[in-house]
């Protein structure tokens, strides 16, 4: 095998709670993560040039050690003293810096792909152990599916799959700094926390309405006052027939859960017509068969 092509899936947070700030600067979280079929295409090819080379379709993205996918490739090359290099091509489709984990998904794809390409023999758990050194969401992006994430995001427990639905992704044209959102959260006295256990119970029962009724993201309390258009999009999606709508991660992306695909398409057109966002996608939830 000289090349491998992979789909790096985006993620949404069905539930996101922050429990506190650790001494090392990381936050303790309790989240329910869900991968969806919105993805970047990642192609990895062996190279006789002993280095890591990255190219993307977005000219403003870094292609050096500032790129997390580059870091992932360099990590495995250094650890296993690989004589060959790699050429990595990333076709970006996941909105950048949008709360959808696109960068982490790219890094996870590189770890997974190089493990296969160079026959390194690493297990999923061993890949996840390396992933956490790159970013808190990388281990999840290796595991994928419906998962409870705890600790700083590295303690992962697979959950029953999200019942079949359509996810409408809306990314408004605003920039959100994750670091600033968490810093603002630390300065507030947060009293309302999402019901993560209620979410897990609804997933156990295969109850989509129950899942939607228990969705919650503690970071909305910080991000929405700074960017009220996020709440406007939420309300528009609900009015358009979404079972539920919520911000993903620290934002600014909002997602709506739809049972009916036609309703999802009508909502997508409405978002365009009202010029609320240009990056709007419909995706199915991703199911992982385990065991």
Q: Are the C-beta atoms of 118 and 82 separated by less than 8 Å?
A: yes
Residue 186's nearest CA partner among 25, 14, 30 is 25
Tell me the C-alpha to C-alpha distance, in Å, between residue 29 and each of 32, 189, 195, 217, 278: 10, 16, 13, 11, 31
Cβ-count burial 189-198 (b if 16+ within 10 Å, e if not): eeeeebebeb
Which of 11, 71, 234, 268 is labelled catalytic?
11
- The burial of 270, by beta-carbon neighbours within 10 Å (0-12 exposed, 13-18 middle, 19 or more buried), is given as middle
Active-site annotation holds for 137: yes
Residue 32: which residues within 8 A CB-CB, separation 6 or more? 13, 14, 15, 16, 146, 147, 148, 149, 159, 196, 199, 200, 203
DSSP alpha helix (H) spans, the chain? 68-80, 102-117, 124-131, 138-143, 178-186, 196-205, 208-214, 220-226, 229-239, 261-273
Told to judge if 201 belongs to the known catalytic residues of this protein, a careful annotator would answer no
- The closest alpha carbon to 39, from 12, 11, 9, 69, belongs to 9
Q: What angle do CA 58, 59, 61 make, to 5 degrees?
A: 75
List 17, 137, 234, 268, catalytic entry: 137
- Which residues does the annotation mark as catalytic? 11, 137
């Amino acid at each position: 095998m000289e090349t491998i092509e992979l789909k790096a899936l985006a993620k949404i947070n069905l539930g996101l709670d922050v429990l506190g700030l650790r001494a090392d600067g990381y936050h303790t979280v309790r989240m329910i993560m869900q991968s969806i079929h919105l993805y970047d295409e990642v192609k990895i090819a062996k190279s006789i040039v002993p280095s890591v080379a990255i190219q993307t379709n977005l000219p403003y993205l870094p292609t050096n050690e500032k790129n997390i996918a580059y870091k992932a490739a360099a990590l495995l090359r250094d650890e296993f003293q690989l004589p060959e290099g790699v050429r990595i091509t990333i076709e970006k489709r996941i909105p950048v810096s949008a709360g959808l984990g696109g960068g982490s998904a790219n890094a996870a794809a590189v770890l997974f792909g190089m493990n296969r390409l160079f026959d390194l023999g690493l297990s999923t758990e061993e890949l996840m152990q390396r992933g956490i050194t790159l970013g808190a969401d990388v281990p999840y992006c290796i595991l994928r599916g419906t998962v409870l994430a705890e600790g700083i995001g590295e303690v992962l427990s697979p959950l029953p799959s999200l019942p079949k639905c359509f996810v409408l992704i809306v990314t408004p044209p605003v920039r959100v700094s994750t670091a600033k959102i968490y810093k603002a959260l630390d300065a507030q006295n947060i009293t309302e926390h999402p019901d993560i256990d209620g979410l897990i119970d609804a997933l156990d029962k295969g109850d989509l309405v129950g899942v939607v009724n228990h969705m919650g993201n503690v970071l909305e309390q910080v991000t929405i006052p700074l960017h009220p258009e996020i709440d406007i999009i939420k309300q528009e999606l609900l009015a358009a027939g979404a079972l539920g709508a919520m911000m993903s991660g620290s934002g600014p992306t909002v997602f709506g859960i739809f049972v009916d695909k036609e309703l999802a398409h009508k909502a997508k057109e409405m978002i365009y017509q009202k010029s609320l966002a240009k990056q709007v996608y419909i995706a199915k939830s991703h199911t992982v068969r385990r065991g």
